[in-house]
Amino acid sequence: MTRTVVAEAYGGPEVLALQDIELPELVEGQVLVDVRAAGTNPFDAKVYSGEMGDDPARLPMPIGLEVAGVVAAVTPGATGYTGPLTVGDEVIVTNINGGYADQVIANAADVGRKPENLSFEQAAGLVLAGATAWHLLTNTRVGTGDTVLIHGASGGVGLMAVQLAVAHGATVIATASPARHDQLRKYGAEPVAYGDGLADRVRAIGSVDAALDLVGTDEALDTSVELVADRSRIATIAGFARAGELGIAVLTGAEGGQAIRDAARPELVELAAQGRVEVTVDRVFPLVEAAEAHRYLQTGHARGKVVLVP
């Protein structure tokens, strides 16, 4: 038995509860991991809110897509995206269902070794946010010499996008509230405050080759299309309603995007091991306070990742 956070109904964070779940036996190509930390993501809330479907047959529904922990058991020949796996390995696990737990079963292909310089809490927030940022930068072809505008740069995905863009030789203009500007400067970005006059403030810094929208506001979308001449170099992960009319890409991981994100995992682990990207953990909650963690996450005030620990 393992304690697992599940959604007992569809709704807000109040539907999250801790239950004892019986895990199945491992089958070929799987590993059992003792969870040390679980990363929370806005997508988790979309799942239990019913936004992604509200089939009652899916309830109670385990929640959580990424964890960091220690391998407790492996099947023969199990190999992850950073190499063979053995009992005792410290690892990062993604693409799972039910990561808010004491233990999880994962396909070995979705498991990679944790960089020694990252804590479990940091490691639990590396791959999903990092792979999403990687997908955005790949889609918009951001590279050396480019200037990229990143809207909502102080969140989990935004901070990773800033660091990855800088690591690839780009100049970054990052929107955020003034209270978060020092954090963005630390990672090599030129911060600007959102709000009236945003486009003019960005122009005062320089011309923009590409834009990433992580917030989905009209301001972010309108500023992006105003400043970026080539709309194929604008992408959003939040502006679903208007992306079609504006002719910009919505990146969800579908239609080949998941392959890009999966391929990014060993690259992200290596960059983290080299100290070229780091994970900012804003707050850590015990597993039993998953609902409270999500209430905090939904305030939009998190300065990095919100993590659960068993």
| 122 inside domain | yes
Within this chain, do residues 96 and 162 fall inside the same structural domain, yes or no? Answer: no
Within this chain, do residues 120 and 227 fall inside the same structural domain, yes or no? Answer: no
| 269 inside domain | no
> What's the whole-model pTM score?
0.94
pLDDT at 268: 97
| 267 inside domain | no
Angle at CA of residue 261, ends 258 and 265, nearest 5°: 135
Within this chain, do residues 50 and 83 fall inside the same structural domain, yes or no? Answer: yes
Within this chain, do residues 170 and 84 fall inside the same structural domain, yes or no? Answer: no
What percent of the chain has a predicted confidence (pLDDT) above 90? 95
Within this chain, do residues 141 and 29 fall inside the same structural domain, yes or no? Answer: no
Place of tokens 């080949």: 256
The domain boundary residue, chosen from 210, 233, 250: 250
| 238 inside domain | yes
pLDDT in tens, 29-68: 999 999 999 999 999 999 999 999 999 999 999 999 999 9
Q: In terms of residue numbers, what domain contains 220?
A: 128-250
The domain boundary residue, chosen from 250, 265, 293: 250
Within this chain, do residues 66 and 22 fall inside the same structural domain, yes or no? Answer: yes
Count how many domains the chain has: 2
Contact 74, 86 (CB under 8 A): yes
pLDDT at 255: 67
| 75 inside domain | yes
Contact 13, 295 (CB under 8 A): yes
pLDDT at 85: 98
pLDDT at 190: 98
| 228 inside domain | yes
Within this chain, do residues 49 and 122 fall inside the same structural domain, yes or no? Answer: yes
Within this chain, do residues 111 and 138 fall inside the same structural domain, yes or no? Answer: no
Residue 256 has pLDDT above 90, yes or no: no
- 267, containing H or E segment: helix 257-273
Q: pLDDT band at residue 258, thresholds of 50, 70 and 90?
A: very high
Q: How far apart are CA 159 and CA 150, in angstroms?
A: 10
Cβ partners under 8 Å of residue 196, min gap 6 = none
Within this chain, do residues 80 and 99 fall inside the same structural domain, yes or no? Answer: yes
Within this chain, do residues 121 and 158 fall inside the same structural domain, yes or no? Answer: no
The domain boundary residue, chosen from 207, 229, 250: 250
Which residues partner with 281 through β-bridges?
305
Give, as one character, the DSSP assignment of residue 81.
T
Within this chain, do residues 54 and 145 fall inside the same structural domain, yes or no? Answer: no
Q: pLDDT band at residue 185, thresholds of 50, 70 and 90?
A: very high
| 260 inside domain | no
Within this chain, do residues 94 and 138 fall inside the same structural domain, yes or no? Answer: no
Look up the CATH number of the domain holding residue 224. 3.90.180.10
- Give helix 257-273 / helix 127-139 axis angle, nearest 10°: 120
Q: How far apart are CA 175 and CA 159, in angstroms?
A: 11
